[in-house]
Chains A and B, each alone.
Chain A
Amino acid sequence: MAILQQFAQQLINGLVIGLIYSLIALGYTMVFGILGFINFAHGDVYMIGAFLGLVLLGTGAFNFAAAMLGAMILTAVVGVAIELVCYRPVRRFGKGFEDAMLVSAIGVSIFLETLAQVIWGTETHPMGLVIPKVVYQVGGLYISSLQVLIALVSIGLMIVLHLFVTRTVTGTAMRATAQNTMAARLMGISVNRIVAVTFAIGSFLAAAGGMLVGAYFDAVYPLMGWTAGIKAFTAAVLGGIGSIPGAMLAGVIIGIVETLGAAYISSAFRDGFAFIILILTLLFLPSGLFRVRRGEGKV
């Protein structure tokens, strides 16, 4: 395979994994945009989404699309539940307790991971052959049908999200709350409700990511949220935390850089590339690629 061909092939590999990072990154970025809080447990929510989908598929009553939708809805509920039980009560105490929120998030993360291990065991579960796997050859490049599916679904979801956030009332309320929470409240927006909606959407998308990854690698396991979570988080930062288009773009960038790095520099240091990007971003471009203007009066 010619050098250029190989490069293009690796680009495709990176693009696909990057799109998944984007899906997960959206959850991080939206929650941070509104609450100024990093939801450590978000990666584990993504994992729960994958498992819920696995369970639904296992009943035999759903096909892949239905199972994915079902999992997404269920996970949205889980996400909101976590917010209500573990985060909102801490915010009750007023400002200045970010560390408490972080610790609570860490607790949720540990809890979810262990819960998954207890319920489903620690082994890797295959998702089963649910999508016909076809290999397309385009100009000497190999693309699998799964890769195409991931691309279509993730881009599709992101477009829907974008429309939701810009065209609907709730979406506008979300943007308003992120910009200036005090003002939003004054305008009659129920901030608590918007926060719940944000968590719901973030979890909804993360579950999609989980299902797609589960199908792509045919592997669902309790610790899958860990690395993916950190990388998606890096994507959220790189994209400009609070910026939705930023998260989308940054996820892809990280996926590509990581894949190319693994292919051409060092496969062992693969995960490190994301962190180097993280540190460089924070040092030289802390507001990320798409700066998001935020006003006073956070929650």
Chain B
Amino acid sequence: MKRRALLLVFAVLVLSALPFVVADPYWLHLLIMSIMYMMLAASVDIIYGYAGQLNLGQAAFAAIGAYVTALLMLRLHISYWVAMPLSGLGAAFFGLLLGFPTLRLRGLYLGIATMGFSEIVRLVLLTWSSLTRGPMGLPGIPSPTIGSFAIESKTAYYYLILVYLLITIFSIQRLVNSRVGRAWIAIREDETAAMAMGIDTARYKVMAFSLGAFFAGIAGSFYAVYISFVSPDAFKMMDSYLIFAMPAVGGMGTMLGPLIGALIIYVLPEATRVFSDYRMLWVGALLVVVMVSEPRGVLGGVASLIERSRRARQES
């Protein structure tokens, strides 16, 4: 236990030093975006990896968070530090809204409903021009300020998103190891049995949706100030699919799975920008190859490797 804590501290220190190691601002930008995607991947993992509720529309919550921040900061000149939690809460509220009616849906049907919801959110953002300026988006979102210090440099944004990610991971781990987490896993494994055991599945399912939406909303609010421009196609359906694929590829229901998945799915195509036209070919092929060889994702694959070697050692 202590060793684990030490390792974690070590990892955090290394991550904190990264901006000074990375010479190229473009790569720092990639790093920042990939950490944001890690946060999104972790957020959808709450809903699917732990609670077992298929969610193919996570990007909508990020979009809501981004727009709430943009609108509050641009129209009402509210400080980022107030807008950000409000964005999370706003997204969580929509998570709640989505959670309730879909309580009766299971499996693939639920997934379909989330897809529909995600697309409706995008279309509303696109067509409600008086509020959102429709397709033109909201440019010129100001940088967050702490007193007289403005978060403008890439390094500053890096630390901000890193902190967000760490808080997200920490919160998720705490929840997972609590009664809430155990209820989720029970629901995931067999919902009917969980109900029979007296677990209020409705409450926990809605909780999963709201929490997942909350973190996605915060990630969205980060996006708003970092890129300083939001538009309805910032988070579309394809993004939802990719965000969903991240924990799937990395390993669902684990701490590191979503992070690994985000690295693979987001950084890899950007890193191979050299083959600009073909990079999505690799992403597509990669997804298939990973699923065909190890459907539990990278971490699942590592786990089976370890199991196998352990067994081999036992037998010898």
Contacts and interface: CB of A to CB of B under 8 A. Distances in A.
A38 B290 CA distance: 19
Contacts of B289: 107
B291 A118 contact: no
Contacts of A98: 54, 107-108
Interface string A63-106: 00000000000000000000001100110010001111111101
A266 B56 CA distance: 27
A109 B119 contact: no
Contacts of B115: 230, 278
Contacts of B74: none
B104 to A, nearest CB: 7
B5 to A, nearest CB: 31
B278 interface: yes
Interface stretch (B88-96, B142-150, B244-252): B244-252
Given A118-B281, A230-B119, A283-B101, A90 B292 contact: yes
B119 A272 contact: yes
A90 B127 CA distance: 40
Chief secondary structure at chain A's binding surface: helix
A279 interface: yes
Given A272-B123, A278-B116, A103 B248 contact: yes
Interface centre among B101, B120, B124 (most CB of A within 10 A): B120
A237 interface: yes
A275 interface: yes
A230 B241 CA distance: 13
Interface in B47-101: 48, 54, 56, 101
A282 B113 contact: yes
B300 to A, nearest CB: 10
Which range holds the interface residue count of chain B?
A: 35 or more
Interface in A31-87: 32, 36-38, 40, 85-86
Interface in A259-289: 266, 268-269, 271-272, 275-276, 278-279, 282-283, 286
A108 B277 contact: no
Contact of A275 (B120, B127, B248, B292): B120
A117 interface: yes
B295 A110 contact: no
B117 interface: yes
Which range holds the interface residue count of chain A?
A: 35 or more
Nearest to B135: A268
Given A99-B252, A100-B248, A282 B112 contact: yes
B280 A100 contact: no
A97 B284 CA distance: 18
Contacts of B56: 102
A104 B119 contact: no
Given A100-B291, A237-B112, A108 B248 contact: no
Interface string B281-305: 1011111111110011000000000
B195 interface: no
Interface in B115-144: 115-117, 119-120, 123-124, 126-127
By Cβ-Cβ distance, the 9 closest A-B pairs, closest first, are: A107-B287, A111-B284, A100-B295, A110-B284, A278-B116, A114-B280, A104-B291, A107-B288, A272-B123
28 contacts: A40-B241, A86-B288, A93-B295, A97-B295, A98-B54, A99-B295, A100-B291, A103-B245, A103-B248, A104-B287, A106-B241, A106-B244, A107-B245, A108-B284, A110-B280, A111-B281, A113-B280, A114-B277, A234-B116, A271-B123, A272-B120, A272-B124, A275-B116, A275-B119, A278-B115, A279-B113, A282-B102, A282-B105
Interface of B: 48, 54, 56, 101-102, 104-105, 107-109, 111-113, 115-117, 119-120, 123-124, 126-127, 237, 241-242, 244-245, 248-249, 252, 277-278, 280-281, 283-292, 295-296
